[in-house]
Structure formats: C-alpha cells, structure tokens
Amino acid sequence: MELKIYPDPILAKRCADVEIGDVSVLPILEEMSKKLYEWEGAGLAAPQIGVLKKLVVIDIRAEPATLYKMINPKIIWRSEELIDSKEGCLSLPKLRATVVRHEKVRVEYFDENFQKKTIEGEGFLSCCLQHEIDHLSGKLYIDHLSRLKRGRFLSKFRKLQKEESEEKAFEDEE
C-alpha cells in the first residue's frame, strides 16, 4: 500500500460506492488505519492509496481518542457558518493552504460492522470530514483555492518536489 502523491491521476477520479456487507473492504480499512498513524495524518481516503472505493479513516488526535472507519460517507447537512481552515494533505506533502469550509457538518456513513452511523463534526473535525469526503469525488483541497493562489501553490509544490528528487539523487550517488 503506497501513498499516491499529486499529480497522480487517481487522485482526480471519483470513487464507487461500497456494497453494504462487502467484507472485502475490511482489510483495506484496517490497513488504511495503520497507514494513517504511520504517515502521521489526521485523515486518509482510499484514492490516496490507489483504491477507488468510498472508504475514509479519520483520527484528529483529540480527547477522547477516536478512530472513525467510514464506508460510503456522505455529508447530509452543512452549517451556513464558514471558517478558514489551514489544511495540508498527505498527497501534497510539506505545504499547507487556507481554504474556506463549513464550520459544522453532519455525515452519514457505515462503520466496519456495516451499521449506519451519523456524526456531527465541528471545527477541525468538520474540516477533516469535508477534506476526506472531497477526495472521494476526486477533489483536493487546492481545488478550493482561487486560480491565482492555486497556481502559486502548485509552483511551490513542484519546486519542493524537484529539490527533494535532486537531494535523493545526490544521496544515491554517495
């Protein structure tokens, strides 16, 4: 299971619904949960590991500690209040940008026992839910930026990627 890094085309694809009761997704959710902690993320969506199914894991590292394993999550309500969210993404490493999100959302999903659940997120949890569910539609947080800000962001991102690959090549020569 490897992390897909932008501009991998799979990150722009829409995911398919999981058939309720399809236990073949359970090992994927389990592995995603392990990778979430290994990669030190707050959330991970299946397309980020190359799987085009509606699966998300989230742990915002709040008290009490809660790991959400979500099958077919969907936002069913959004507050009118908006907040600025400074976001990063495992698939766009080392950079962050501020995007506007709904302060609160309500999300329906199925847990790993295929039980229907509802969660209401506020603040950081709300932003994380919106960010990860966006991934399932092939949308990245940078897609919420203006054209100008997105262009600047991607320019910085490409520069960082180039520097990183040059450093790696230099290390490989030694």
- List phi, psi (to 5°) of 171: -65, -40
Which one of the listed residues 30, 122, 132, 163 is annotated catalytic? 132
Known catalytic membership, residue 38:
no
β-sheet bridge partners, residue 38: none
Q: Where in the chain are the domains?
A: 9-173
* CATH class of the structural domain 9-173: alpha beta
CA dihedral 22, 24, 29, 34 (to 10 degrees): 160
Confidence (pLDDT) at 64: 83
Q: Judging by DSSP bridges, how do beta strands 55-58 and 68-78 pair with one another?
A: antiparallel
Over residues 113-155, the pLDDT tens digits come to 999 999 999 999 999 999 999 999 999 999 999 999 999 999 9
- List phi, psi (to 5°) of 84: -85, 130
Q: How confident is the model at residue 165 (pLDDT cuts 50, 70, 90)?
A: confident
Confidence (pLDDT) at 149: 96
Q: Give exposure, 10-30, as e/b (b: 16+ Cβ within 10 Å).
A: bbeeebeebeeeeeebeebbe
Percentage, residues of the chain above pLDDT 70: 99
Confidence (pLDDT) at 63: 82
Confidence (pLDDT) at 171: 78
Query: Is residue 25 within 8 Å of 18, Cβ to Cβ?
Result: yes
